[in-house]
């Protein structure tokens, strides 16, 4: 006879182990699961036909065919069991063993009703644990139902050396778990030298990206069907023959962690950069220390136009019609061609459309006055619905209340983004204003604006003169190449807000890893008179004046201080917007109750509805009630009051106009969030900027 008491302790230990294993599996079951789908592309590459440098192909000639309906072999693979889920398997095993032992004990007892009852209870508990474990390892359990599948699993292409082609396909993916972060990754699993694969999508605003890369990501329940464009580029020197490449699409999911209160990364897939007519996309070639033409398709890694994830914002220039090189020369040039600074008239920087929200659970977004945290930003297409949330959230790590920034609504038009002057505007260098700056020479609207580094800022102006000078840039026969559709105008206060909010995000200087601590603040321009555009004190706003660094002093000095010159840009690198802190106060189009004061505008100008889109209207006795009795969302007023210790002086009916940024000797209250009121003074510390869609 086997006595029950001899096994009582052993049974309890076994049950405790089983319970621990299963509970561990439950707690960790909602973990990373990757689901993949494969797309096979078979390419038949022929020789470039004789006498035709571009090739022409044969057979389908760069076209593609799909063999009927998608093959089932491309269905989503069953997700592999994660390490954490193995705990559940262990629990299952232990529970089964405990059940077998309990049955053996029960069979060995000759008598004892209580003992039998206890053994039955033990076996019941063990089986409950078994059921729990089976639930854990089921793919549709707490991990959510995960699925990704390309609806065009196999593609056949015939083309020649040096040719390119593209095709579209739908990629569907879904997850049913609210607490999972997800991302769609694409890579060529066995890449071939001489074959480049790019993917883009109008559905999600994804510019062409060279694989491998992340195509799309987000959080929570999704059920997406996205059309992607796949482009295949064949190098001229690729040997003719048949090639097979495989694109693997992976739905990668991770359990959300509890991050910092703010500053969560977000997708750049919503970015859509639109060039106005005759603008030239440019990127700075650090090796050559010069601006060169960028690859507008964003495919060429060496001359890639922009990468907002790495704080590289899109830049473009207008050029002279007949400079050292003609405008046509630059328009037709290949990526990498130098764009001579002598030929450039204006530098512009693109601010893509975005939604924003600010952590409101603590002041300064959870930081301090000298080191505020960042503003959450996510890029969106103008095709997306405009959202008007509270622009704030109180639960750390759970951004909500998203609001479309108002700068991307221009009258009745919803914009994909805005072009902002890279520097404070300068006057025509051949003008008398440039050589002898005073009100008589400079407060003249017929002077042609320039936007260039190291040039004297155009000061000694009121508001009306720069407004008209900006509008003149699109008149027939203008030197810039714009037409009337460009709608060039003097910067509004809300447009200033769009720039500085992006700067204070992970996509701006705040997110640039070269800068830490107080150096996350945009450095101040403390140049002497006449003030030059693009200069930098190499430090945040402070009373000490150093030798000023030009904008292209970009070498990382280390210690979290970054570039001496580039630290004064909104990205902390040369791609950003300069002169946003110090230099000259920037007059912006924002006015209290349409009071002309000394602006140069007549009262009748404000009564024309066509002019409403060119300025921001304010009322009330404080920034907190300045817009329809409430907050002026996105205008960088009460939402970011005194961040970095910047000045915040609300406008009144007497001092009715807004000015931004501070000026060269106004430290430490100068900064990107600084604003003040003015009745309009025409002097040497007030300038302006230009903007257009």
Structure confidence at residue 86 (pLDDT): 54
Closest CA to 242 of 68, 59, 51: 59
Cβ contacts of 90 within 8 Å, gap of 6 or more: 21, 25
Write out the two tokens for 676: 């003040």
Rounded to whole angstroms, the Cα distance separating 149 from 225 reads 10
**For residues 6 and 535, which has the higher predicted lDDT (pLDDT)?**
535
pLDDT at residue 613 greater than cutoff 90: yes
% of the chain exceeding 70 in pLDDT: 78
pLDDT at residue 538 greater than cutoff 50: yes
pLDDT classification of 331: cutoffs 50, 70, 90: very high
pLDDT classification of 212: cutoffs 50, 70, 90: confident
Structure confidence at residue 298 (pLDDT): 86
DSSP code for 350: E
Question: Mind listing the pLDDT tens digit for each residue in 470-484?
Answer: 999 999 999 999 998
Write out the two tokens for 519: 């150096």
Question: Mind listing the pLDDT tens digit for each residue in 164-178?
Answer: 888 888 888 787 665
| CA distances from residue 80 to 32, 72, 76, 137, 642 in whole angstroms, order as listed | 10, 19, 12, 10, 52
Of 2-16, 262-276, 299-313, 469-483, the least confident: 2-16
Question: Mind listing the pLDDT tens digit for each residue in 126-139?
Answer: 656 655 554 554 44
**For residues 120 and 374, which has the higher predicted lDDT (pLDDT)?**
374
As a whole number, mean pLDDT of residues 595-601 equals 97
pLDDT at residue 434 greater than cutoff 80: yes
pLDDT at residue 42 greater than cutoff 60: yes
Rounded to whole angstroms, the Cα distance separating 249 from 518 reads 41
Please tell me whether residue 324 adopts helix, strand or coil conformation: coil
Which CATH number is associated with domain 33-67+146-255? Answer: 2.60.40
Rounded to whole angstroms, the Cα distance separating 155 from 159 reads 13
Closest CA to 246 of 151, 155, 166: 155
As a whole number, mean pLDDT of residues 299-309 equals 91
Structure confidence at residue 159 (pLDDT): 87
Rounded to whole angstroms, the Cα distance separating 551 from 547 reads 13
As a whole number, mean pLDDT of residues 570-585 equals 98
As a whole number, mean pLDDT of residues 21-25 equals 52
Question: Mind listing the pLDDT tens digit for each residue in 339-395?
Answer: 999 999 999 999 999 999 999 999 999 999 999 999 999 999 998 899 999 999 998
pLDDT at residue 587 greater than cutoff 90: yes
Rounded to whole angstroms, the Cα distance separating 145 from 515 reads 41
**185 φ, ψ (degrees, to nearest 5):** -110, 145
Structure confidence at residue 640 (pLDDT): 98
**For residues 145 and 642, which has the higher predicted lDDT (pLDDT)?**
642
Structure confidence at residue 170 (pLDDT): 86
**For residues 462 and 61, which has the higher predicted lDDT (pLDDT)?**
462
Rounded to whole angstroms, the Cα distance separating 282 from 304 reads 9
Structure confidence at residue 29 (pLDDT): 44
| CA distances from residue 558 to 519, 562, 626 in whole angstroms, order as listed | 11, 6, 42
pLDDT classification of 180: cutoffs 50, 70, 90: low
Residue 399 sits at the vertex; the CA angle it makes with 395 and 400, to the nearest 5 degrees, is 100
Instruction: Return the domain boundaries, the chain.
Output: 5-30+80-136, 33-67+146-255, 258-582+684-693
Of 69-83, 93-107, 269-283, the least confident: 69-83
How many alpha carbons fall within 13 Å on the CB side of residue 354?
29
Cβ contacts of 440 within 8 Å, gap of 6 or more: none
Of 137-146, 187-196, 443-452, the least confident: 137-146
pLDDT at residue 222 greater than cutoff 80: no
Write out the two tokens for 421: 């002057």
User: For the purposes of burial, counting CB atoms within 10 Å of the CB of 125, is it exposed (0-12), middle (13-18) or buried (19 or more)?
Assistant: middle
Structure confidence at residue 261 (pLDDT): 44
**For residues 26 and 583, which has the higher predicted lDDT (pLDDT)?**
583
Rounded to whole angstroms, the Cα distance separating 586 from 415 reads 24
**For residues 454 and 168, which has the higher predicted lDDT (pLDDT)?**
454
DSSP code for 392: E
Q: Are 53 and 47 in contact (CB under 8 A)?
A: no
Q: What average pLDDT does the chain have?
A: 84
Structure confidence at residue 572 (pLDDT): 98
Q: Are 266 and 254 in contact (CB under 8 A)?
A: no
DSSP string, 2-35: --THHHHHHHHHHHHHHHHHHHHHHHT-S--EEE
């Amino acid at each position: 006879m086997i006595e029950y008491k001899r096994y009582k302790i052993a049974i309890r230990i076994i049950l405790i182990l089983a319970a621990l294993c299963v509970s561990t599996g439950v707690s960790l079951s909602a973990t990373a699961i990757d689901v993949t789908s494969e797309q096979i592309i078979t390419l038949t590459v022929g020789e470039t036909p004789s006498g035709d440098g571009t090739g022409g192909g044969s057979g389908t000639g760069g076209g593609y065919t799909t063999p009927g309906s998608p093959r089932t072999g491309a269905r989503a693979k069953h997700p592999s069991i994660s390490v954490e889920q193995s705990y559940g398997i262990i629990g299952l095993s232990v529970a089964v063993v405990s059940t077998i032992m309990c049955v053996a004990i029960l069979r060995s007892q000759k008598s004892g009703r209580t003992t039998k009852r206890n053994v039955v209870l033990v076996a019941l508990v063990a089986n409950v644990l078994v059921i729990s474990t089976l639930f854990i390892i089921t793919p549709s359990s707490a991990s959510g139902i995960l699925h990704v599948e390309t609806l065009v699993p196999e593609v056949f292409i015939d083309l020649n050396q040096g040719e390119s082609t593209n095709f579209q396909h739908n990629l569907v993916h879904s997850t049913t778990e609210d607490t999972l972060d997800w991302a769609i990754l694409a890579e060529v699993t066995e890449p071939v030298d001489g074959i480049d694969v790019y993917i883009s999508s109008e559905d999600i605003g994804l510019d062409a990206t060279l694989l491998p890369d992340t195509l799309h990501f987000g959080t929570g329940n999704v059920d997406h069907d996205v059309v992607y464009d796949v482009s295949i580029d064949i190098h001229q020197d690729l040997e003719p023959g048949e090639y097979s490449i495989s694109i693997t699409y992976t739905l990668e999911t991770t359990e959300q962690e509890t991050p910092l209160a703010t500053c969560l990364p977000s997708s750049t897939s919503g970015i859509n950069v639109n060039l106005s007519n005759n603008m030239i996309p440019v990127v700075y070639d650090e090796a050559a220390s010069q601006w060169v033409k960028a690859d507008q398709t964003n495919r060429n890694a060496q001359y890639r136009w922009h990468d907002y994830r790495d704080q590289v914002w899109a830049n473009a220039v207008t050029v002279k019609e007949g400079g050292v090189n003609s405008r046509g020369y630059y328009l037709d040039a290949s990526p990498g061609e130098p764009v001579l600074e002598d030929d450039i008239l204006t530098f512009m920087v693109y601010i893509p459309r975005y939604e924003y929200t600010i952590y409101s659970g603590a002041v300064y977004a959870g930081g301090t006055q000298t080191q505020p945290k960042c503003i959450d930003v996510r890029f969106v297409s103008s095709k997306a619905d405009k959202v008007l949330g509270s622009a704030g959230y109180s639960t750390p790590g759970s951004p909500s209340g998203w609001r479309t920034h108002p700068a991307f609504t221009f009258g009745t038009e919803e914009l994909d983004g805005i072009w902002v002057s890279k520097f404070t505007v300068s006057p025509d260098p051949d003008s008398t204003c440039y050589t002898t700056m005073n009100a008589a020479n400079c407060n003249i609207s017929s002077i042609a604006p320039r936007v260039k580094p190291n040039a004297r800022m155009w000061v000694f102006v009121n508001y009306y003169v720069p407004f008209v000078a900006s509008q003149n840039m699109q008149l027939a026969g203008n030197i810039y190449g714009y037409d009337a559709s460009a709608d060039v105008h003097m910067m509004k206060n809300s447009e200033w807000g769009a720039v500085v909010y992006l700067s204070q995000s992970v996509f701006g200087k705040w997110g640039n890893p070269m800068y830490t601590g107080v150096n996350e603040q945009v450095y101040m321009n403390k140049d002497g008179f006449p003030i030059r555009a693009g200069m930098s004190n190499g430090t945040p706003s402070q009373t000490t004046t150093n030798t000023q660094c030009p904008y292209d002093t970009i070498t990382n000095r280390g210690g979290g201080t970054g570039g001496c010159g580039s630290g004064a840009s909104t990205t902390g690198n040369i791609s950003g917007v300069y002169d946003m802190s110090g230099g000259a106060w920037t007059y912006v189009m924002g006015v209290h109750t349409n009071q002309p004061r000394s602006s140069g505008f007549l009262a009748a100008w404000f009564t024309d509805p066509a002019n409403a889109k060119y300025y921001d209207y304010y009322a009330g006795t404080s920034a907190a009630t300045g817009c329809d009795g409430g907050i002026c969302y996105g205008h960088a007023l009460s939402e970011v009051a005194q961040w970095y210790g910047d000045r915040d002086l609300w406008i009144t009916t007497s001092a009715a106009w807004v000015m931004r940024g501070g000026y060269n000797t106004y430290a430490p209250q100068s900064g990107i969030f600084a604003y003040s009121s003015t009745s309009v003074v025409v002097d040497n510390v007030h300038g302006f900027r230009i903007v257009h869609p």
